[in-house]
Amino acid sequence: MGAIFFTIKHLVGRQAELNQVSQVLATDGDLLIAGVPGSGRRTLVRYAAERVDARIIEIDCLRATDSDRFLHLFAEGLLQAFESAAERSLIQQWSAQQPIRLEHTADETQLVWHESTDEWTLLEALLGLPQTLAEWLICRVVIVFQNFPHIRSWDRSQQWENYLRQEIQRQPQVSYAFIATVAESWVQQSELQVVLLGPLKSEDLQPWLEKGMATQGITFEPEALALFLDYVQGNFGDAIALMRRLWQNHQLTKIAELNHFSASLLSDSSHSSLPPSCSLDLIRPDQVHTSTLALVEDLARTFEALLMLLPPSQVRLLESLALDPTDSPHSREYIQKHHLSRGGGLQGAIASLQQKGLVYGAEYGYRITMPLLAFWLKYRLA
């Protein structure tokens, strides 16, 4: 079943943040966008870059397993951002004075270098190329480092991380956008603008939800709509997943009803009424609950694998927050009620879950960031 109508064609509920990021990029400023996976961090940067007519170079640090891989990902991102013949010609002109050359093959064009070339020399050259192209083409450039903290998996001494931070000040026509789960302490000591993305508000999510389903002739009973919004808790990714499941179940129900009607016609040739269909286009609360339950059952293996990677203290805290949400997990009553570790152990568990993007901080009441995970935990424990 192809649910084409779920394709996202505009930014949902992030207009204030879009204006903020666009303003930073329009002045060639630098920023950090913090939020849990699925909160729309990359989408926000892309929309803002498009609004100010900036080229965007994306490097996913999660894919950079070592320094050599980081350099190659950077080179790939550069060529994806500058792909016209005229732009490639400028890169070729630039490479004449660099240890990097532009190589054309029958299948692709690559930036290549000799294996013996010093990595710091290569990094300096690659970081300088966007500034050069920005000056030649009279354009803005945004370098986006996705999952930036993951660079530490191989940059143990933080040499590369510190160097990248320093480069922010050196290139006036290039903006740096760091994407991470939380704003770390070093950000407070920098000139980076910080944009925090929390869960979407229900009043922002609801119009998009109703419009999307209406294109398929589907509407919600008021109680069903309220239940849907309660289950997804402002998580856009979970909202899309649940919409798809509801739509799929709706299609299956219609097919089953039509098959039943056809069978009844064959058994009673005098029957000439039209098949009932109007009632099928109204989503009821029990359908929302059944679809959510089926969805989390499909995700159960993924959730179980996730819990196996966490220390027992963090699993216990997640289970407690799923069963008994609170904005005061540090309180004596809550700790005693759920047999949580005290003092530094609890604080460490909370901080670690925040870093992993599994729990919001105090500003959002220590909620589990993945509502479907919270639903599954509650269902499993109950």
Q: How high is the pLDDT of residue 324?
A: 94
What does DSSP say about strands 100-104 and 31-35: parallel, antiparallel, or unpaired?
Answer: unpaired
3-class DSSP state of 259: helix
CA distance 190 to 261: 68
Domain boundaries, the chain: 12-197, 202-267+274-381
Sign of CA dihedral 136, 137, 140, 143: negative
Residue whose C-alpha is closest to residue 143's, from 40, 25, 244 = 25
One DSSP character per residue, 237-290 reads HHHHHHHHHHHHHHHHHHHHHHHHHHHHHHH-TT--PPPP-GGGGEE-HHHHHH
Task: Give per-residue pLDDT as tens, 217-260.
Answer: 889 999 999 999 999 999 988 999 999 999 888 787 777 666 66
What does DSSP say about strands 31-35 and 174-180: parallel, antiparallel, or unpaired?
Answer: parallel
Sign of CA dihedral 322, 185, 48, 125: negative
What does DSSP say about strands 109-113 and 100-104: parallel, antiparallel, or unpaired?
Answer: antiparallel
Task: Give per-residue pLDDT as tens, 170-192.
Answer: 777 899 999 988 888 788 778 88
> Structure tokens of 361?
């901080």
Side chain identity, residue 66: D
> Structure tokens of 199?
């869960």
Please name the fold of domain 12-197.
Answer: Rossmann fold (3.40.50)
Which residue stretches of the chain have pLDDT < 70?
A: 1-10, 256-280
Q: How high is the pLDDT of residue 212?
A: 85
CA 285 vs. chain centroid, Å, equals 28
